[in-house]
Structure 1
Amino acid sequence: METKRLKFPKKWRLKLRKDFKGLVQFGEAVQDEFFVIIYRKNGLEYSRFGISIKKKFGKAVKRNRARRWIKECVRQNISFIPQGYDFLVITRKRFSELFEKLNYYKCCEDLLELLKRVNNEKNSTINH
């Protein structure tokens, strides 16, 4: 029996420096104790994601685990995430301090809550 490898598709990734710069310069932000999410419309039918984790977060193993958690959360919950946006997910100091005590599900729940706020803010600006 062959199993299909589940991936984070390349089209969902923010790669270009100009995309990151435009996002930081012109994007809006939402934040909580673990993450800051900067977002901006991208004119595409799908959303793209960038992940930023400072070296102060910890050694590469820890940073890569956090990055994998964020990507997996996005991949599994893409239907709940607003489409047509670029997102930059930035981890905060509190996340690195509590990372060893957290699990994937708490991280994902927190991230989805923030993305839900992006959706709510988007809808509130349309209605007013």
Structure 2
Amino acid sequence: METHGLKRYTFRKRERLRLRRDISLVFRFGKAIQSENFVVLYKKNGLDYSRLAIIVKRKFGKANRRNKLRRWIRECFRLNKDIIPKGYDFIVIARRALSEKFENSSYKSVCESLLENFERLIDAESNTGSY
């Protein structure tokens, strides 16, 4: 069985943004893209892959709702690596508006909302021009 194509659909340990110093660097020096449902903070990391951290506050709801949203965001990141720019550290923060309509939301709608932020990030970075 061929496994070459399957490797890109994994969410590896190295793709998780876990260290406190890395997260604080993104908060301190990173830029933000905001939408109704998410805030995505990002900063270049100098690596050939992107890393992800997810923040869902307790006000979002009970633990099972927060964990479900985290799983959906990770899955969206995992399946759309070809769309998401490489070489960045991302922190995805869920907003209150998503909390209020989460029960009626589907994975597809949440993922599309998140991917819109990444598309806006691509546009913003291409307009600034890397020298």
Structure-1-length-normalised TM-score: 0.93
SS at match of 1:40: strand
1:11 CA displacement: 1.1
* Letter in structure 2 aligned against 1:45: D
Give yes or no for the alignment of 1:12 onto 2:22.
Answer: no
CA distance in 1, matches of 2:11, 2:110: 18
SS at match of 1:80: coil
Give yes or no for the alignment of 1:75 onto 2:78.
Answer: yes
Q: How does 1:9-88 map to 2 (within 5 A)?
A: 9-88=12-91
Look up the match of 2:3.
Answer: none
1:8 CA displacement: 2.0
Look up the match of 1:120.
Answer: 123
1:9 CA displacement: 1.1
Give yes or no for the alignment of 1:102 onto 2:105.
Answer: yes
CA distance in 2, matches of 1:121, 1:80: 15
SS at match of 2:104: coil
Gaps of 5+ in 1: none
Aligned length: 124
Gaps of 5+ in 2: 1-5
Q: How well do the aligned residues superpose, as a CA RMSD in angstroms? A: 1.5
Poorly superposed stretches of 4+, deviation over 3 Å: none
- Residues 24-77 of structure 1, C-alpha deviations (whole Å, 9 max, x = no match): 010000011000000000000000000000011111100000000000000000
Identity rate of aligned residues, in percent? 48
